Every structure is written in structure tokens, then in C-alpha cells.
Amino acid sequence: MQNSIKKYLEEHKQEMIDFLAELVAVPSVQGEAEEGAPFGKEPKRALEIMLEKCRESGFNVENVENYVGTADLNDLSPELGILAHLDVVPVGSGWSSPPFTLTYDEKTDKLVGRGTCDDKGPAVAALYAAKAVKELGIPLKKGVRLLFGTNEENGSADLAYYRQKRQLPPNVFTPDGEYPVINAEKGMLRVYFSTVAPENVEISAGTVINAVPASCKYQLPKAGNADTEAVFGTVEGSSAHASTPEKGENAITKFLRSTDHGLPMLKSLSELFPHGELNGKSCGLGFRDDISGDMTCVLSMLNTENGRLCGGIDIRFPLDRSKNEISEIICGKLRDAGFEIDSCEGVDPHCTDENSPFVQALLRAYEGITGDKGRCIAIGGGTYVHEIEGGVAFGAEFPGEDGRMHSPDEFITSENLIKNAEIMAAAIIEICG
Ligand SMILES: [Zn+2]
């Protein structure tokens, strides 16, 4: 059976690539909401193109008000949901080909374009996995539903809305992460705090809360005395995602450590966030668990604006802690140090049992196609299924590979496009066959 699926996919490879090109050509970055287009015109257009293709393929299609569209492979009650998204992040700079034109590089087998890897390529793979099963007449005892969202990159309001209107299938995976299976995602907390800025102090460091800041520009009064000459400077670090701070160097904590500023509030910040400490131990945190490992706590923003010194912290905490607990600890420490809390929001951790029949079936599908050992992994970031009980991320990146998601020259190889479809078809048969 796997051989006939493989053959089907190889025969439809060009069709898959052409359809991916059609989707990549839609710049489905979040736009202004309009009537009937909750996330703007382009995400809606990408969804319509996908649903039209599903309709042509003989699936039962539903569009839930352009938040989420679904396509059912058969008439049975859905047991498995495959959740992909059709919105993309903005292009940014540094592309070597037009980001909304799918470009094929024969030498490297790369299909380059925004959304190829995240998540339009995997969405096309899911569609062709379902088409292969349907058109080859492989019998299924249970239903399969493809779900296509349009707001994953900006808070997943698509999914929240859909869940108010419809029920999700009992088993949902998203090909919007990596293989083999991501079953555990740390909890997350984002804290914004501030205080009156000391006179003649200007600091500018960090533009987004979920990244380790790469530089910290400052102006300080000499030796803490506002009457003397000011000192200017820039401290350089290197950027990384806040869930993996060990891959970067925090320019803010480096600044706090290295500068003889003589200012009490900067001193207390440097005591709470010693340079090089990544787990928040000095803030009373420093927790870990055996599955997700050490927690992370990153002082990612520090800026003076309108007479205030404003900071931001990104925290990823272990599976056995709650956001309320973590929030009480960190907010208490900041208040003790003289800061006001402007906002403190987050999500509890997510964990699906790795021994569940669903996860075991996915691992079998992965092993069967790749020949590699399957295993579950834990991450600090949150995936599309973070709020879905029992959900996991399954694909679409393979271990050790980097499709440059959210970066210039994002790509998926045509080989991996097919391999993803093969694995998803195997998963459909494992779970619904
Ligand atoms: Zn994604």
C-alpha cells in the first residue's frame, strides 16, 4: 500500500508544486479586518483557493466564515484532524528571489518562497496525502478532516473562533513544527513592567518580547550624577529566540553588568538578571522538569519612553508549574525592586501523553516511512495545538534540517514535500484505516 501511495505522490509531484506556487503567490500576511475577512483579504483568498482545490478533489468542504476552512475526506465522523495554516509572516528583507513567487533551485531541490515550509507546503502535503488515500480507494473505518487556519502567526484567533462554532476531532496534529513528534510545550509568561526613569538616562534595547536582544544603546549621566557629562554607548550581544536563549547573548544583561551606572534601579535589575543566567534563578524561579528541562527567563526589552523606564520579560516554564504560580513569583520580585507591573499574561504548559495510542500511531507512521527511530520531543515555544488537549505537532521539518521559517529564503525541498505527504498518508491509515 505504501508503494502505491509513493507512486501516486511521485506522479502528482509537479501538480503539488504548481498548487504550492499558486498558494505562495498569495501574500497572505495579516491585513486589515473587513466584513467576511476577519484577518484581511489575502488570508481569505488563500483559504478560498485551498478550499476550491479540496472541493474539486471530491472532499466535503466547509468554510467557517473565513476563520478556518475544513475538508472531510469521507462521510464518517472525523477521528483525525490535520491542522495547517495558510497565513504567513511578513517577508522582511534579505531575499535572493521574490518571496511571493515560488522559485525552484534544481541543484539543491529547494522550493523557495514565503510559506513554503511554514505552513503552505505542509498544507499541500496534507491535501495530497488525503487525495492519495481517497483516489487509491484505500478503505477507511473512520473520518479524516483537514483544517486550514488563517491566523496562526498572529495569535490563532482563527482556531479560537472555530472552536466556539464546531468541535475538533478527538485526535489533532499540526504539521507546523518538527518531526518526530512534539508532545510537550512549556508554559509561557510575558511580563511588562515600568518605573519612573532616572533623569538623563536613555536606554533602547529590544524591539520584540520573544527575542534575546542583540544590542543595547544607552546614555547615562557620568557616575550617576545628573549634572556631569553624559556617557553614551552601545553594548552588543546576539539575537536568538527567547525560548532558546543559550543560542544568543543578551545585550541588556551584558549592559547591566558592565556599566558602572551607579543607579539603584539598574543595580536591582542586574541583581535579578545576572548576565549569563538563563533560568531566572535570581528572580526566585530556576525551575526544571525532566521532560522539558530547564526553564528560561529572558529580560528581552528595556527602553526609556515618555519619562518611564519600561521592561519586558519572556518566561518559558516547566510542565508541572502554572502561569499563576510563576506570575506571582516574578511580579512579586519586580514589585519588591520598585517596579510597577503593566501587564502579565501567558499560557499554561501543554503536554500530551507520549504513550497515548494517537502518539504511538504517529511515531509508527514516521518510522515506517523514514526508517528512523521515532521519539517525542519537548520545546519551549508554543505550536498551533498548544491549547488543544491531546494535540501534538508532527512535522514538517525533519531533525537537523532548517527550512528558514520566518526568515528570508524560506524553503522546502521537493523531496521533503513528498516525504511529508507520504508520512501523513501513513498516519491517516494508521489512525483511521
Ligand atoms: Zn507556522
CA of 280 to the centre of ligand 1 (A): 28
- 187-347 has which CATH code? 3.30.70
pLDDT by residue (tens digit) across 297-314? 999 999 999 999 999 999
Tell me, in angstroms, the distance from the centre of ligand 1 to residue 331's CA. 31
Q: Burial, 209: exposed, middle or buried (Cβ in 10 Å; 0-12, 13-18, 19+)?
A: middle
63 C-alpha vs ligand 1 centroid, how far in Å?
A: 20
* Sites in the chain below the pLDDT cut of 50: 224
* Ligand 1 geometric centre to CA of 146 (Å): 16
Question: Could you please report the per-residue DSSP string of 170-231?
Answer: SEEEESSEESSEEEEE-EEEEEEEEEEPPTT-EEEE-SSTTEE-SEEEEEEEGGG-TTS-EE
Non-local (6+) Cβ contacts of 341 within 8 A are 191, 192, 193, 331, 334, 335
| Tally: H helices and E strands in the chain | 10, 25
Q: What is the pLDDT of residues 109-137, one digit of tens each?
A: 999 999 999 999 999 999 999 999 999 99
pLDDT value at residue 92: 85
Q: What is the pLDDT of residue 225?
A: 54
36 CA → ligand 1 middle, Å: 23
CA of 16 to the centre of ligand 1 (A): 19
For the chain, give every domain's residue range: 2-186+350-432, 187-347
pTM for the model? 0.89
DSSP for residue 306: T
Cα 119 to ligand 1 centroid, rounded to whole Å? 5
Ligand 1 center–CA 411 separation, angstroms: 13
What is the dotted CATH code of the domain comprising 2-186+350-432? 3.40.630.10
Confidence at residue 206, expressed as pLDDT on a 0 to 100 scale: 92
State how beta strands 392-393 and 171-174 pair: parallel
The residues with which 37 forms a beta bridge, in sequence order, are: 34
CA–centroid distance, 149 to ligand 1, in Å, is: 10
Give me the pLDDT at residue 190, please.
Answer: 96
Contacts 24+ apart (CB under 8 A), 55-58: 57/127, 57/130, 57/131, 57/134, 58/134
Q: Looking at residue 429, what is its pLDDT?
A: 98
CA of 427 to the centre of ligand 1 (A): 20
pLDDT at 230: 78
